Every structure is written in structure tokens, then in C-alpha cells.
A and B are shown apart, each in its own frame.
Chain A
Amino acid sequence: KAGVTQTPRYLIKTRGQQVTLSCSPISGHRSVSWYQQTPGQGLQFLFEYFSETQRNKGNFPGRFSGRQFSNSRSEMNVSTLELGDSALYLCASSLVGGYNEQFFGPGTRLTVL
């Protein structure tokens, strides 16, 4: 069974631009969560989608948004990029979310210049 895939793997943007990251979950998984990893803050939860609905949201500004499609694929968007948005963005999928273990993709490394 194929794992979680994320595209692109690496991205360089400049301040003020916007970016869209994509995540394809494991086949049959309906829950997709997004996390940001930085050296200072560690792994922080952004939001979770299940059946195209956002069920849970972390403490990030409104510049961070996401969506999920009917095939469970998910995208996250960051508008008006700031230098502090440079991070590894990780996507994780699970069958139904909740207490199920989550399976992570390799991440997208975003660098904002």
C-alpha cells in the first residue's frame, strides 16, 4: 500500500507570496492532518480534515488555510508569506482520525526569503 505523499518536497518563496502544498493520504484514509515543524517550536498542529470538513484547528493565523477533496486529498495554503513561515510542513493521514495512529508523509520543506 502506498504511503502518504506530499508535493512538492522543496519550495522557495519570497515574502508576501502565497503557496499551496498538496497531500495524498493512504488509500482508504479519510482523515488528513497538517503540522508545522520548526527548530524553535517543534511539531505544531495546524488543522485536520475529515470528509471534506475541517474538524479541528490549531493556533495559527488565518493566513494558513486548507481544504480536502472528495477523494481525501488535501491542500494547505499559506498567504502573504513571512520569514517565520519557513518550516517543514508535514501531512498525516489516518482511517478516521480520533485516536487512530497517524501516518506521516515526508514533508514539504518551505523556505521563505
Chain B
Amino acid sequence: DQQVKQNSPSLSVQEGRISILNCDYTNSMFDYFLWYKKYPAEGPTFLISISSIKDKNEDGRFTVFLNKSAKHLSLHIVPSQPGDSAVYFCAWGEQGGKLIFGQGTELSVKP
């Protein structure tokens, strides 16, 4: 079974600096990963995704990197803004509408 792990429960970053959130996974099948952001009392909001045919995907301030040999992906936010403070989830996407989520990393961006 695929497992997705986010080993850092929290991260604190200064406004304007780079935030790097990490995620590891166990099984190498067709890989499709998504990052979601979640505020309290709201559902997760899709941020960015990447498939195994790429090693990088960029959307504005958000860039996701996929290292297939290390079974590792990371989300970079540059520059970080106070409004980015939220819980970030990495998820592995399976056919049939199933997402396997990591435990989440709470990002705090300080002014």
C-alpha cells in the first residue's frame, strides 16, 4: 500500500523568505502527487500537482519538485506571505478518485 509521509508537523518562516515543505512516499507506481492547503474550518484547497513524467511544476509562487529515485517531493513557496499560513497536505492520487494524504505540515509565516 502506498504511504505518504510528511515528517515535519510544523514550519515557521519569515515573510519574504522561502518555505520548503517536504513529503516522502513508499511505492513507485505511476506517480501523481497533489498539494493542498487547508485553513481551519474549511476544506482543503488544491494548490499544484505533478506527475512522474515531470520533475518540476511551477505555478506562480509555488513550485513542486519530484525526485523519483529518492521517492521525495517538495513544495517551494517564494516569497512566503502571511496569508500562506495554513496546513499543507501532500497527497498521492490513485485512479478511482482516491487520494492518500500525508499528515500535514503547519506553516506559519511571520511578518
- Which positions in A face B, CB cutoff 8 Å? 4, 31-33, 35, 42-45, 48, 50, 55-56, 58, 90, 92, 94, 97-99, 101-107
Interface size on B, residues (CB 8 A): 25
| B residues less than 8 Å from A105 (CB atoms) | 43
Q: Are B93 and A45 in contact (CB under 8 A)?
A: no
B59–chain A nearest beta-carbon distance, Å: 12
Give bound CA distance, A56 to B93, whole Å: 12
Interface residue? B101 (CB, 8 A)? yes
Q: Are B97 and A90 in contact (CB under 8 A)?
A: no
Q: Is the CB of B46 within 8 A of A103?
A: yes
Is the pair A106, B42 in contact by a Cβ cutoff of 8 Å? yes
* A residues in contact with B34, CB < 8 Å: 101-102
- Assuming the contacts A48-B97, A56-B94, A94-B97, asked whether A102 and B89 have C-beta atoms less than 8 A apart, the reply is no
Chain A residues closer than 8 Å to B42, beta-carbon distance: 106-107
Q: Which residues of A contact B97 (CB under 8 A)?
A: 31-33, 48, 50, 55-56, 94, 97-98, 102
- The answer on a CB contact under 8 Å between A107 and B102 is no
Known: A42-B103, A43-B89, A99-B32. A104 touches B98 (CB 8 A): no
Are the CB atoms of B98 and A45 closer together than 8 Å?
yes
**Given that A43-B101, A105-B43, A106-B42 are known contacts, is A99 also in contact with B51, CB under 8 Å in the complex?**
yes
7 contacting pairs across A/B (C-beta < 8 A)? A42-B101, A43-B101, A56-B98, A97-B96, A97-B97, A101-B46, A102-B97
CB-based contact B44/A106 at 8 Å: no
B100 CB within 8 Å of chain A:
yes
